[in-house]
Amino acid sequence: SVDQAKISHIEAGRIGVSEDRVRRLCTYYECAAPELIDALCEIARERRGTLWFDEYRGVLAPSFLDIAELEHHAVELRSVQALTMPGLAQTENYARALHSSAFPPLPPDETEERVAFRMRRTRILQGEAPTPCTMLIHEAALRMRFGGREVAREQLFHLAELSRLPHITIRVIPFSTTEFIEATQPTLLARGTIPQLDTVQIDSTFGGRLLDAPAELARYTTLIDVAEKASLPPDESRHLIHYIAREL
């Protein structure tokens, strides 16, 4: 028999799920995709409470943990940013400046929790097996001065250094582009170990949304492809980043 209340809690992410239960649920849902079942079981083996972001459960909103878990399981990340730097590329001072101007205003201790959390997320770009990542950033984001000139300049130099790493591609969408890039909200495409686990995350002032329907994935993948086509090559992007930093 299947406990509907327990299934609801699992689907909402309120309780963990074992590998055995994953297989039983797949049988219950009549899932006949062995690769998907195996991939879900692999995720289930990393038991709830053993991953770094579980420390923040009950401290930060579930949407924060969702993005960290999405990044943790991804084998490739692609993002588009129009007005701010990608979270994984932010310096501590830049992240603090953003969270300090949040609406509605945050208590100082929550601001620091969010900053610390964001810095922990950046670790997936470090170590022996960092996650390949492509960041497409509009020139407008490079010219914003969140936190003041020094914070903005530090952020730009950090971005330029990240762009030199072999697993990170940073490309700037210049003001001079003639393409219309319909990506006013931060958009992240996280590739899973199999296509069925691909997920898009759309961020906004009042929370994020996770999308995994094939039609939505296709639409946002095309949007990111258009943004990449309109962006400068990596070397030219780095040159522009340095130029703007020196202008500040």
Kindly report, residue by residue over 187-214, the tens digit of the pLDDT.
999 999 999 999 999 987 777 899 999 9
**Ranges in the chain annotated CATH 3.30.870:** 61-247
Helix (H) or strand (E) holding 5: helix 4-11
- Tell if the pTM clears 0.75, that is, is over it: yes
Domain 61-247 classified CATH 3.40.50? Answer: no
Q: Are 168 and 135 in contact (CB under 8 A)?
A: yes
Average of per-residue pLDDT across 133-153: 98
Quick one: DSSP state of residue 56?
G
Kindly state the percentage of the chain with pLDDT values over 90: 75
Both tokens of residue 169? 């591609």
For residue 48, the model assigns a pLDDT of 65
21 or 233, greater pLDDT: 233
Displacement of CA 6 from its chain's centroid (Å): 29
Q: Rounded mean pLDDT of the chain?
A: 92
Please say if the pLDDT value at position 27 is more than 60: yes
Return the beta strands (E) in the chain as ranges: 76-81, 133-138, 168-173, 187-191, 199-202, 209-211
